[in-house]
Amino acid sequence: MTEYKTIEVENQTYILDEATASILMHKIKREFGWVGTVFCDDDIRESIRERRMVDDKEPYTDEQMEEAVAKVMNTRGWYRFMEEWMTEQGWVALDNIIWDEIEYPEIKAEEEEN
């Protein structure tokens, strides 16, 4: 079952499901040349599945998985630390790109030659 949400932006109202919202977000990013990422509950599920497999643990039942996802999503880490960390690392990456491409491209060229 698809859950639709009502999103109000100024005087416009949009009714979207998560799949449509994701497609729209990616198209908007592409149109404006924006970069960045968003994590969602499916990413948590996939990470838990992978982690349990790597640790040689039994997979969670559907109920256990939903409890685990809810637990992660109700943490300060999910709502604050992930965004802060991604922002900080994004600034580091941007600074490195500027360094390589704008400020000191000759150093990058030398490194690529060697």
Q: What is the pLDDT of residues 57-103, one digit of tens each?
A: 999 999 999 999 999 999 999 989 999 999 999 999 999 999 999 98
Total H helices, total E strands in the chain: 6, 2
What confidence score (pLDDT) does residue 55 get? 97
Sketch the domain layout of the chain as residue ranges: 75-114
What confidence score (pLDDT) does residue 90 get? 96
73 contacts 41 by C-beta, under 8 angstroms: yes
> pTM for this structure?
0.76
Distance (Å, whole) CA 43 – CA 41: 5
What confidence score (pLDDT) does residue 109 get? 76
What confidence score (pLDDT) does residue 1 get? 59
pLDDT, tens digit (0-9, with 9 covering 90-100), for 3-46: 999 999 999 999 999 999 999 999 999 999 999 999 999 999 99
φ and ψ of 11, to 5 deg? -100, 20
φ and ψ of 37, to 5 deg? -135, 160
- Would the pLDDT of 56 be above 90? yes
Indicate the pLDDT class of residue 113, thresholds 50, 70 and 90: confident
What confidence score (pLDDT) does residue 111 get? 79
